[in-house]
Amino acid sequence: MKRVVVLTGAGISAESGLKTFRDSDGLWEGYNIEDVATPEAWARNPELVQQFYNERRKSVLEAQPNAAHYALAKLVQKYEVTIITQNIDDLHERAGSANVVHLHGVITRSQSSLKANLTYPIDGWELKMGDTCELGSQLRAHVVWFGEAVPMIEKAASICLEAGIFILVGTSLAVYPAAGLINYVPSGVTKYIIDPNIPTVSNNRIVEMPYKASIGVPMLVDELLAIS
């Protein structure tokens, strides 16, 4: 069974009503990134950071998967599929995809402030100050902040090395190290790029699909299922 590797970014979640990570003005939901998405912000004002991610979590739980999420879940009918996502929401899983690698964590889980790989499910949308892990440290959102390592990047790179088909959806390839993953895909593998603004890629065998995710992904999935 041929292996399909999909790398998704903010564009696929935007159509479910979730704001992209960094808007054109450099803000995320009206906040400076430096005030809510760095270890320094957490050390300076943990209450603000906790509130910010509680609000984002509430928005994620209220959002619903869109046609692109559901279409990708259908690919398992005829392919071995791995989705690597830069997004911190769980919309791929809720649409039915089982093999999802979250590069930047997932907001529906918490993690220990002392040990990043000590994570827990969150009951509901609110994580409170005073909620602690088994080591006694404050729980925070299971999200990779600026300045922190991306623990899943090596696993994601090894997955890309084994791709038989590669699909890039809704990402400008501006955030590293995730943006470098396309370079791990073997040169002879066809790479589909679905985005209204196709990023510049030096790889060969590129098929450009300048559509928003909810249009382009179902179109490509139908095509792949028909030819497999």
The predicted-structure confidence for 179-190, as pLDDT tens digits, reads as follows 889 999 999 999
- Split at pLDDT 50, 70, 90, the class of 173 is confident
Taking each helix axis from N to C terminus, what angle separates 67-74 and 213-227, rounded to the nearest 10 degrees?
20
E-assigned strands of the chain?
Answer: 3-8, 27-28, 31-32, 80-85, 100-102, 105-112, 119-121, 139-143, 165-169, 190-194, 206-209
pLDDT of residue 19: 77
Is the whole model's pTM more than 0.95, yes or no?
no
Given the residues 92, 102, 104, 142, the one annotated as active site = 104
Please tell me which residue, 171 or 221, carries the higher pLDDT value: 221
pLDDT of residue 178: 81
- CA–CA distances in Å: residue 217 to residues 12, 125, 138: 9, 30, 40
Share of the chain above pLDDT 90, in %: 82
pLDDT of residue 96: 98
- C-alpha 69/C-alpha 183 separation (Å) is 24
pLDDT average, residue stretch 73-98: 97
Please tell me which residue, 56 or 27, carries the higher pLDDT value: 56
Pairing of strands 80-85, 3-8: parallel
Domains and CATH numbers, the chain: 1-18+65-104+149-228 (3.40.50.1220), 20-62+107-143 (3.30.1600.10)
Range in 21-35, 42-56, 136-150, 204-218 with the lowest mean pLDDT: 21-35
pLDDT of residue 27: 60
102 is catalytic: no
